[in-house]
A and B are shown apart, each in its own frame.
Chain A
Amino acid sequence: MLAIQLAITGLQTGALYALTAVGFSLIFGSTRIFHFAHGATFVIAAYFFYGVFGAGLGLLPSIAAAGLGAVAFGVLLDRLVYAPIQRHEGSFFTVFVASFGVGIVVQNLIGMVFGRGFVTVNTPLSRSVEMIPGVYVSPLAWIAILCTAIFLGALQFFLRRTHTGMALRALADNPELVRTFGLNPRMIAATAFAVGSVLVVPAAIITSATTGLNPAIGHHVMLISLAATIVGGIGSVSGTMLAGLLLGLAESLALLVVDSQWTEAVTFAILFAFIIIRPAGLLGRATAH
């Protein structure tokens, strides 16, 4: 029974990891910007939801606030921080340091406004019910899995069937050629930040109502996103999605054999194993530079 319980919990965690990691992978894959502040996007979405919901403004306004906060943060960060650095031919590392710095600032600002302690949003959906004898599952677990399926399905449709989605894939392949086609790489990059940031929102909201939040949660989110991007194969959205699920399941099922403080180590054991054995990741293309 414990294995089933952990598998379901792992599936829920993995689904949320997949959403967050795919957002990062989409941004990194198409713009080559190491958006470390993606974790801060998660924090902003989660705390905006927590703040508005806590103020009693209802579920839909809370979701809208989380979505708007996340998208505005992602797009403005690209426009006001990354774009100027790139315009002055700043290096990959310069962009990374700027992103890291913004992440720290956001963490501290959120801490100042909402406090540094642990907070949760209590909803009737948070309470677990006994699904089969000895296995307790909260309705939010199914909502997490359903949300992930819907969002990632919609993302695949967007990337394969719309011109904007194709342009995002084109930008990932060759930014210079994008200009030759007559497209504007900066506009496409802004779309990547908007879409990548939106994907974080359901994960942030569900996390706020399940495991809870603190302002430093962004670092964990970022590390998982990075690990899933590498394990899935850099540039592969489908690979990152699978890797997110795999990491969530592995973290949870690891509790069968190790203590809970070691679960994060499991993520990194998997990451190192992939780096050594299969550096191209689950679905990435092997490349030589």
Chain B
Amino acid sequence: MSAVLETRQVAAGYGGRPVITGIDIALQPAEVLCLIGHNGAGKSTLLKTMFGLMAPEAGEVRINGEPVSGRSPREIAEMGVAMVPEGRGVFPSLTVTEIFALGMHATGVPKAERAERVDWVLGILPVIREFMHRPASTLSGGQQQMVSIGRALLSRPKILLMDEPSIGLAPKLFQDLLAPIRTLQQREGLSILLVEQNVREALKISDRAVVMKSGQMIWEGGPDELSDNEKLMELY
């Protein structure tokens, strides 16, 4: 099966200082791939490079076999990729309705489909309906994360990149948040690349895991293999 998203020997960094080097990752259709590593391992840099927020200094990123290095985030979004950024991916002064409207406008969702898309997301994350008209600044951390995921789903992506969605959330809330995403992955074949520090919780929903350290991949395998690897589990 060909990968929906892959990196080939990708290197990227800030101001000439490399953060990641020689990264080869392939995300398969309808797969949940968990990217694990400490702060500074280069996980977020890799996600930003995949989504066009950073240009790779070497190597290439491919989506459905097509090289996308140098394309803008909007162009990559139009190829069926969405990103839930690290932290709270919402604009505090905008209401949830406005965030959704802006998200759909930015990714070129046709006007005629927008109401239907919102209904679809509210069907997946029904709690959002309760605070659609509130500014994001008045929402709890969990509610903001839910809105961020909902906004990403509005473009009906085939590939979802999630950067540490568990930050600041209780494990139970994190699982509640991921459950509908997992359902979507199984029902609609969504491929998910999940960056997490909360390894035990992330592995519960992952099909495969990659461990990164100091900007390089140091391990790759199934979640059970990783759980059995005492040395790695102690580290992470």
**A residues whose Cβ falls under 8 Å from a Cβ of B:** 163, 166-167, 169-170, 172-174, 176-177, 179-184
Contact = CB atoms under 8 A, between A and B. Distances in A.
Contact of B102 (A167, A172, A176, A179): A167
Contacts of B102: 163, 166-167, 170, 181, 183
Contacts of A167: 102, 106
Contacts of B72: 182, 184
Interface stretch (B2-10, B92-100, B189-197, B199-207): B92-100
B106 A182 contact: yes
A173 B106 CA distance: 16
A183 B74 contact: yes
A182 B94 contact: no
Interface of B: 51, 53, 72-74, 77, 83, 85, 89-94, 98, 101-103, 105-107, 151
A181 B92 contact: no
A184 B93 contact: no
Given A163-B101, A181-B107, A182-B107, 7 more contacts: A169-B93, A169-B94, A173-B91, A176-B85, A177-B85, A177-B89, A182-B72
Nearest to B151: A181
Top 7 closest A-B pairs, CB basis? A182-B74, A182-B106, A173-B91, A163-B105, A170-B91, A182-B77, A181-B106
B181 to A, nearest CB: 18
Given A173-B93, A174-B91, A177-B85, A166 B101 contact: yes
A180 B89 contact: yes
Contact of B74 (A169, A173, A184): A184
29 contacts: A163-B101, A163-B102, A163-B105, A166-B98, A166-B102, A167-B102, A169-B91, A169-B93, A169-B94, A170-B91, A170-B102, A172-B93, A173-B91, A174-B91, A176-B85, A177-B91, A179-B53, A180-B51, A180-B73, A180-B83, A180-B85, A181-B103, A181-B107, A181-B151, A182-B73, A182-B74, A182-B107, A183-B102, A184-B72
B13 to A, nearest CB: 15
A52 B105 CA distance: 40
Nearest to A163: B105
A85 B167 CA distance: 35
A184 B101 CA distance: 16
Given A163-B102, A166-B102, A170-B102, A180 B53 contact: yes
Contacts of B73: 179-182
Contacts of A181: 73, 102-103, 106-107, 151
A173 B101 contact: no
Nearest to B136: A173
Contacts of B77: 182
Contacts of A176: 85
Contacts of B107: 181-182
B227 to A, nearest CB: 32
A158 to B, nearest CB: 13
Contacts of B106: 167, 181-183
Contacts of A174: 91
Residue of B51, B74, B106 with highest tally of chain A CB at under 10 A: B106
A246 to B, nearest CB: 23
Contacts of A182: 72-74, 77, 106-107
A174 B136 CA distance: 13
A4 to B, nearest CB: 39
Nearest to A181: B106
A166 B53 contact: no
A170 B94 contact: yes
B162 to A, nearest CB: 12
